[in-house]
Structure formats: C-alpha cells, structure tokens
Structure 1
Amino acid sequence: MNPGRILAYLRPKGWRLQFSIGAIFAILVTPSIAGLIYWSYDTSLALISQYAERDVKNAAEDAKNTMAAPLRRFADSVLIAAQVEAAMPGFLRGPDSDRMMIQELRNSPGLTSYYVGFADGSFRQMQRVALGAKVSGITPPAETRFASRMIDRSSGDVALDRYVFLDAEARRLGDGSAGPTTYDARQRSFWRLAERLKSDRTQSAVAIADPYVIGSVGKFGMSVSAPVVRNGQLVAAVATNFTLDRVSQYLQAHPASANATTLVVSRDGTVIVHPDPAEMADRKGDEIVSRRVGDISNAAVRAAFARRSELKSDYFTFTALSDGAEYVALFVPFLAEFGKPWEIVIVAPTDDFIGPLRRNNRLMAIVGTAVIVVLLLLISGFARLISRPLVGLVREIRTIERFSLDTEVRLSSNIREVKQLIAATQMMKTALRAFTAYVPREVVRGLLLSGRPIELGGRSSHLTIMFTDLEAFSTLAENSPARALLDQVSTYLGMVTHAVNETSGSVDKFIGDSVMAFWGAPLADDDHAYHACVAAVHAKRRLAAQNVLWQEKGSPELRMRVGIHSDAVLVGNVGSMERMSYTVMGDGVNIAARLEGINKQFGTAICVSHSVFRECGERLWLRPIDQVAVKGRRGGILIYELLAIRGGEADLAASPAEQEICRRTAEAYALMAEGDLATAARAYDDIARTFNDPLAVEMGRRCREGRPSAQLIEVSENAKVQPG
C-alpha cells in the first residue's frame, strides 16, 4: 500500500463537530450552573405568568372590541338598508337613497363607499372623493366631496358608467360618464357573498369579506354586505367599504406593553390588521395581496406561530431564536357573531412585565458563575468557532428555501462535517439554479416544498396562453449571417422571456423563433389575461427600441407577431417518466397559436381573442378586427388588435394616434357589423389614408367585396404548436 496515501488519509482535515460539541457540553453542564439557572427560573415563572397573562388578556379584549365596533355599526347599517329595500321596492334605485348613503359616509370617517347591486346587474354607489382625486379617470369639480355612480342594466342595452358629483352639502356640481362598461354587479364578490347568505341560513345575516385593496383610496380595507330577499329571491345586495386605518392606529397606540405587538390574523395565517400598515400587504407585480404571518418582519411573532403549532396551546411563553429573548404569546378567537375565523394575537417580551425581577435573576446568575469565569471564556471561544459558520449556513439554506438562488455567500469552517455540509449546500444551490433554466421556477419550488416525487398528470384550469413569432424569419435566415442572426434572435427571445417572468408568467418552450408562454399556473393568478397582455406590449415595445439600435449598426429589423387567448386547458406534467415537461394542452392552445398566425392576414402585431376582452378589456387599448370562425368550433369569435395598456406604466400607455385609431376603427367596425358595408368601407379607407394602416386596408377591401360572415382560422405555415 502506498504510504503517501495512508498519511494523506490520517492527516487531520479539520476538527470533528462531535468532538467540539462534546467539549462544550462537558464544560457547560455543571451542577452548580444548572442548579442556579433552574432555581432562578422556577421561582420567577409563576410571577411572570401572573402579571403577563392578566395584562395581555385585557389588551386582547380591548383589541377585539375595537375591531368589532365598526363591523357592528356597518353591519347594522346595511341590514337596515336591506330591510328598507325589501319593504319598499325601488327605494335604493331612487334619489332618496343618496341622502341615506351620504349620511352614512359623513357619520363614519373610515367608510369609503356605500353601494348596492341589483338582480338585473345594475349598480349604484356613493363614494367619498378626496381633494384633487380623479374618479374613473374623470376629473370632477374642485368642490366635489361625494360621487354618485350609476350603472343601469335594466333595459338590456349597453350599460353606461355615469357619475354625479356632489359637494359637502350634497349639492349637485356636475356629472360625467366613463363610457360603456362591462361591470356587472352579479359578478362581484359582494353579490356572491349575498347569494351564499340567502341560500345558507346557518350563516349570519351579513357577510364580511376578507381584506383587500379598496381601489378608490388605494388602502387596505374590508366590505360588509347584506342580501335583499323578496319572495325567496335575491333581488339586491347592499354593501359598504371601509378602511382598516383606525383599527391599525389603535393597535399601534394601545399595545399590551411597551414592546408588545398586537395583530388580527386569520386561521390560515393571513394578516387581517397589523399596527404597522406596511406589514399588511405585499406588492406582486401590479397586484397588492395580503401578507402572510410568515412574511412579516417581526421574528418574535413568526416564532410564536411556530411554537403554537408545537405546544398546542393558546397561551404560552417561548424564546425567540432571533434575539434570544423570552416572550409571552396569547391567541384569542374573534367574536363568533361575525362568522370569521380570526384571532387576536399578542406577542410581548416578558421583560416588559417583570424586568426588575429578571435583572435580579441575571445578577444572581453572574455571581453564581463568577467562580468558573475561565471556563465560560473557553465556552465562548468554542461557541464562536461553531456558531459562525452554522449561522451563515442557516442563512444560506433559508435563501434557498425562498428560492433566492442568485446571491452568493462565502462560508468556511475548520470542522470537517460543517465543511462537507457547506460544500453540499453550494452544490445543491448550483444544481437548482441550473434546473430552473429548463423548468418554470414555481414548478421547481412547488416540487421542493411538497417533498413528493414528480408524477405524470395534470388538471383542467382556466389560463391565458401566448404565442409569439418573428415576421418573415425564413427570409431573414436566408439573407443574414448565421451568427449575427442568432445574436438578434437570442436578444428577442430574452426580451420576451423577461416580459413573461416579470408578469408572473411561465415560458413553456422555445420553438425555433417562437415562444410559447402561459399565465395562471403553476401559481394561481386571477388576472392572468391582463398580465399576458402587459407582457406582450412590453416585449413589442422593447423590441421596437432595440430595432433602432440594430438599424444604426446596419442589422435588419425583427418584427414580432403575438397571439393571446384565455381558455380552459389541461396543465401539468406530460411525457414519460424518463423525460417530461410541465406544459399546457388543449384546444385553447391551438387557438392562441392560430391567433398569432392570423396577424399575417390582417397586418396586425398582437391579436387577442374575445375571451381576453371579457377578462380585462376595460384596461386595454384594443380595436376590433372581425368575427372569425375557428376550425372545429361552432359559431364565430370576435378578435381584436392590442395596441397599449390603460392606466399602467408610462411605457405601456397609448399614444394619441393609437387612441384615435382605436376609436375610429371601433366606429368603422360598428358600421360593418350593422350591415352598412359601403359606409364602413369609406371609414376604413379614411383610416388607411390617415394612419397608413394595413388592417384598415384589408377591412376596407373586405367591405367592398361583401365581407363574408366569418373567415376560418387556419394554422399558418409559420405557426408552431404542439397539438393538444
């Protein structure tokens, strides 16, 4: 045997963790210190519990009553209004209800709006208007303090969103209209809650929604709603919106102790009210969502929830790992009358209650351990040696748990086992970083958190699918140097990928110069259609800016075409156990691909379906193209060209020309839909001359030729899609 290999094996490579921990415990665990600490703790524990429990429970009752007060008031208000409407049909549709709503807004500073929806989809609302604020994009008169909103769907015609502006004395100052609207009261959460109350008599008479962002004021708040039932039918639903500012301010101004934190939390871990408003919500893209307990900055509160699940108790003391301090935690159920699974949670340092006694105990511990101070110094050295790399390693593992794989942390240790653990952790991080380049990041995160093996299968979900492609790519490939074209295509693919990722979408695959992406899975996204449209406009405009740079260098321009469609599709893992892909399949995928290809027929860039319009049309700058028939489906669908985003980022906004072309195209399409093809053709020709618009040229030609009712969408030669 080679002696050099034997020596290399026997040469120390670092201290063993087992020896280090054994040495520390041998020094620490002495009868004198253990007895002193136990005696001090045992004699003070009863006093800690007595003082802390009394003060904390009193504070919890105060917080409970403070939270319940506005809920009771607003519940009584909507119940009375619902009873009046039930007894006097039409009262809430008439002007007399305005005075009642305004009076409620005056009497309750936290109330932001009072509204009612009707069974025919109509809607009435009285909202508070802040000084200088706009209402649905309308600038009201300067003296406006209230805005009465009316959407009448009783006639069955296209509903208009109308406003009447009132001053502080409820005098009419003027009116305005936000134009046609797709808003339907029956599709809103307050109506669905009222329907649930009507059908479920085990529930309370009012429904309280979970916190959400109130759009008119941009603050977190809640709504209280009550059904109006006549002859067993739900005929209307009355509701109010109010902010949680005052409850949050009360919790901040009246803590159980100097350093205590009081908050209201749902049983599922959602923060309802926090003394710091910034801790109540997070922004994810363009969406503001309620924060979870595990996401708040107070480490003691997070530790209290973790310890509660271990101890199975609603009142206990614990030690927070973050600062080593001892805390007391209390969990009190919210009032059962409201039917909400909420709890009042108080977490306070025990030092706030018995600080002098604890300081005395510490002094006794110091005196008792003075005789072994040399040993304590030795323990300190060992603890520092071990704890520093372990703490750093814990932080690194936590960043991996959060899937923050882009940060680099340098760790080192002389202990062999710790060195091996550091190396294994870095290797795992590198492997995960490489894995997420091929699989959607959220799919990998879900796989890690579940602890289950990957399985084939999927589920049906309503998603939004997007296909992009480059115009005339075959010609470009023939006439451009391969390396230069590859660089350009890589830049384009990177822009599309970035736009998809920043809107919480998933890139499914690259098919040559095409990109397939989808929104709504694996992460649930209630606004998936809007996010897909934002990504498409972002990618298109960034590519346009890049084309300017390419032109300066003499490189050819790249122009992309996009198709977007929302539909129920199958999403999940497909393939074989040896190789699989997380993807979407179904007829909706084929339609999205065909919409991308149909851009070539009309000279458009971004084509979206009517299902996308239904999801988020009011937030987009769209213009109708035509009714088209989809192969294999009955009836036709209306498709649109997407030009810009309403009310979004500045670089997504529509130019005056784009706004004008949307308006004029809509007018021309309306003429064509009504059968006035000659007038429609002239309108399209006028648009074509003014804006040099290919779509208008094509539609003018179709009108002059008699315009068939629908054109069959066929997959173009450039459309690349896996059949589903």
Structure 2
Amino acid sequence: MSQAGRKTFLWSLQAVVALVFTVIVLLISGALIGFNHHQLTTLTFRDAEEDFSRITDSVRNEISGSLRVASSVLDTMSLTVDPNLSIGQLAIILTPVLKDLGRLLPAAMGVFIGRGDGSHILVQTLDGGFPPELGTGPDLKSAVLAYMLVQPTTTGETVEWVAVDSDGRELRRVPARPTDFDPRRRPWYTASQASQGIILTPPYRFANVPEAGVTMARQSRQRPDAVFGIDMTLASLDQYLERLRFPPDLELIVFDRSGALIAHPRGAALRQFSRADLSNQLLTIDDLKLPLLSGLFHAFQDSGNGAGRNLSFNVGGDAYFGRTEQVGEGFDNLIIGIAIPYDTMMGPAEQIRSILLLVSAVSVIAALIIVLLASRRLALPLRTATDDIRRIMKFEFGHARRIPSQIVEVLELSRAIDTLELALSNFMRYVPTALVRGIIGRRFSSELGGIRQPITVLFSDVAGFTTMAEALDPEQVMNKTSRYFSEIGSELIRSGATIDKYIGDSIMAFWNAPEMREDHVALACLGALRASRRLDRLNAEFIAEGGAPMRTRFGLHTGEAVVGNVGSVDRMNYTVLGHTVNMASRFEKLNKRYGTTILVSEDVRGAAGTNFLFRFVDKTIPEGAHAEIAVYELLGADVPDEPELAASQERLNTLPFWNEALVLCEAGEWGRAAETLEELVATAPEDTLFKVQLQRCRIHAQTSRIP
C-alpha cells in the first residue's frame, strides 16, 4: 500500500505498451543507424581525399603541359632566331611566333629578347589589358598586339611603344622616351646567364599590365649575351580551376607559402584590388578579406606549412574540410588548397542516414498503430468524454456526433455531458459571458453584495418606440426588437461592455466590471459610436423594407458605483447601483431636448482620450442633480481600421462656428452670437442644438435691451 498523502502517478495500459515497444524498436534502429553512419563517414572522407588528389594531379598536369609547350618554343627560338638582327626585324619575326604560341598556350602573354647591350624587344598580346604607356582612344579599338622597343643611347635607355592590329597595321606609336628598364637587371636575365638550360621565375606581378604570371627564359645558342623569354599569365590557370570547381561551394586556390594569391577561379576580379595595383606586388590572401580563404590559409600555417595534409577549420560558425598539396613541377613553393563545407561533403551520408531514420520512424509508427488499434476501442469513448468536458470548461459549445458506446457507464457519461453543455450554454444567454467565466474560474463570488469601483455606464432608448409599436402586431414588434437588440448588443459586447439588462426598448450596459480595464471610458465611447453607426445601417434596411427606423439616443457617464450581486438567495442579478447609473440615464433623456444622439458627461470627455471628438452642448442641472453639469455630444473617433467612426463632414464644418457662437454667448454678445447661430441653422437646419441655442440667445438679447 502507498503511504497516506503520497501522490500516485497513473499510467494507461495503452501508453505503457506503446512506450515499451517504442523503446525497443528505437534502440535497435539507433544501433543500426549509428553503425551505418560511422561506415558512411569513413567512406566519405576516403572519397573526398581521392577527389582532392585527382584535382591536384589535374592542376599539376595543366602546369606541366604549359611548361612543356613553352620550353619547346624557347628551344626553337634560341636555335633559329638570330638575336643580332635589328629591333624592328626581331619584332616582325616574334609576332607570328607569339600568335602560334597563343593558339597552343593561351596563358602566353608575350615573347621577348633581351641583349647584353641593353636593348630589348617585347611582343605582347593585349588580351590582359593595355599598357598605360599606350594610353586610350578609339584608334586602339582594333589593337591586338603591342611592341615594347628598348634601345640604349648615350644618355641611357629609351622605350618606344607601338600598337598594331591583327594584320600588323600600325595603329599608334608612342615616341621614344627615357626609361629605367634595363633587361640586364631583370631576374630572368641574370638567372639565364648563370644557367645553360631553361629557367623559370617565381610568380610575380607584371609591370605594365594588371596581371600576375611567370617568365620562362633561356640563353641564346647564337649569342651568349642574348636571352629569349616567354611571359605567361596565371589567368588560364584561374579558368582551369573554375572548370574543376564542382560542386559550386567547393573552394580552390593556388598560393605560395608566404600567402600570395597565385590562382583562383575568380582570380581576374580579385587581382584588381587597389592595394596590389599601387604596391605592384602580388595580392595576398589576407588582402582579399574573404573569410573562407583566410581560414584555409591560416589552417595551413597552423599545420606547420606542411603540404599533403587534411585540414579542419571553422568559418563563421560553419565547419569546413580541406587539404593542401604541393604543386611541384618546378613550382615547389606553390601550394594547392582545397576546401569544402563539411555539410556538403557529408551530404550523401546524411541523406542515407535520414532515409534510415525515416525507415525506422515508419517501422515504429507501424508498430504503434498495431498496438494503438488494439487499445483504442476501449479508450476512445473515455478520451472523447474528457475532451468534451475540457471544451465545455473553455465555453466552446457544439461538438461532432459521438459514436454510441456499448458500455452503459460511458453512455450515461455522454448524456450527462450533453445536459451540462446545454445548461451552461443557455445560462450564458441570460448572464453576461464574462461573469459566467469568472464564476466558473472562481474569480468572482456568487454571494450577495458588491464593491465600490469606477464604472462607465451607458443607457440607450429608441425615440418614438411606443408609437411605432402601436402600429405593429406584437409578433412584428418582437421580431423587430430582437433584430435591433442583436445588432446594437453585438457592437457593445465587441467593445467590452457587460449588458446589464434590456428594459423594453432600452439597454443598460457598463464597462470595467466584472473584468477591470484602465481604458473603460474610451471603450464605452467606442461602443456607443459603433452601435450608433451600426444602427444607421440597420435603419436604412428598415426603411428599404417599408418600416419605420428605430432612432436611438445614448447617454454615458463615468464615476464610482457599487458593483455586485443584488437580489435574494434564490435569484440574483449582477448589476451596478449608484448615482453614476442614474446620471447616465438622465443624460440619455437630455438628448431629446438638444436633438443629439450621444450625450456624455464632462468626466467622460476628460477620460476618453484624444482620439475622440466632442462638442460642448450645455451646462444644465439634470434631474436628480444639485449643481450644473457640462454635457457634451460625442461626434466621432479617429480609429485607423474603422473610418466610419469618424465625425461627419457637416459636423466638422460647423464645429468652429459653433465654438465661436459659444464664446460670444459667454461674453454676453447675444446679438452677434444669434447672427452666427442663424447662419448655422441655415447651413444645418436638421441640427436641433443650433435652434435651441439660437432661441436662448434671442431671449437673452431681448432681456438685455429692457431698461
């Protein structure tokens, strides 16, 4: 036995069976999924390393192929071209060499000869850009080649630039000018003089075009102080990396150990970086401000600058897998870097794991269905009854037809729930909904008595209702009145009102009870305006149907009142009592005197807020009051989603003149006030308030003239 007071946790049989069976299936499925995922991860990493090796080999083959072609051309030039010819003759000979080389080796940008006397001839393509020495202009539109002619003079070397088209026609010649370019001081010249074979420079930034590349050179076989050379850009390597870049989020880069950018799929755009242009140096990886490339390079540095290693690093919270390999083929200082998001690389493995998870989930669901079907037959009626009671406690009435149960107790429980729902739904038709919710939720007492608190009260009354009712049958009166109350009541309730009672053709409603609201005065004004505008549309329907309209007047007052249960032990009414209630009723009756629709007290006007428009009506002593009270008419409100609540244009047009007339009356200038009011009466003859005040002004004017 359990100890007294100990709380017992109850389980349903259906839940226990389903839980145990689910745990068993999940343990088996989880073990299989974990083993398969481990194997797939291992295979994925192995495949990634093989793919990276293939990419590295392709880059090496591309570089070595380019070098072999350039080497053959250099060997041929060093044997066949006479370096002793004039600069002009050498330019003519080297031009077809460059064109033929360009078809075989797109990376070739120029061919040149530098001689020991300081002379130099360079023939270069203009695909990578125009040297700044040539300038710009429409005459260069068809230029395809440029000649750089350097010749020594007694005062130093001079350089002359010539641009030609594809047929060799000269388009522009820049006159010779002094230059500090001396081929004998170039790295490729000194290295070739010290070697009997072909030399290859490290990548560097070309001086006269915004390109990076390498130079291959060798000593002439016919003149020892002459050196032949080929300039090759890295742009073609950029394009080759772009072709190897698959999937799209795979990152490829070639850099040297110092971090200089050698090649990248977007290398042409990246090399336009202004800092590199100004410093005439290779662009570094850190200059690019690309987090992924910087992360790859720093991971390479952290690994000790060792090639042939796998790298793991994070960029912006995303994990990446990478690898670095040495290029070789004469470029031992260059590194190929490859990086791919971990999610992309593991995508197929994750997809397979997701499929396994799905299959496991389907298996669990299928097993649960079998278990649930066995226990559902008994548990469903009880669960339905529980849901119905929970719904009724939320005051959500109406339910789908239940399947009759063969169990007597369940059947009787269903009937009891239906009776409870019917009783509570009908009870809420006679008692305010908020009050019923409060009683059910034990927030309000059902004992006799009340409390004093601020309240805003509304009274409404239909003008000429008795005359209208006498002209109709009782059934017609009932139908029309019910339709009227339905329309006006829905708007008041939508505005937060508690409808106290229907008194013949009148309504008494109040705000701030039973639920407290700080803006209860504004809500009351909003409810009165909504009800008034709704009745305007309803009266238009009555008239269209051949009936009489039900023109309604409203009175509003706010103040303290006693709120609570009034009556006897067997029958009570939740209502408000006090002077505030009586004054609201008096204000409603004052509408008849002034021809107004919604009359409110000065207290209401002061507490409603700035979104409401009022006009002063009068200072009067309502029945039951002992002092004058200022009364105002509520004209409209500024509510963005309800433009129909705004004051009519006629009221807006006459309001300034009405206020002017009131100022004149206050100053005792009755004659001038009467003139203004006469104009208002002529402008708005249906506004009774103007006529009432005009009559008052005339009486005062006559009285003031009596000696």
TM-score under structure 2 length normalisation: 0.47
After TM superposition, the score normalised by the length of structure 1 is 0.45
Higher relative contact order (CA 8 A, sep 6+): 1
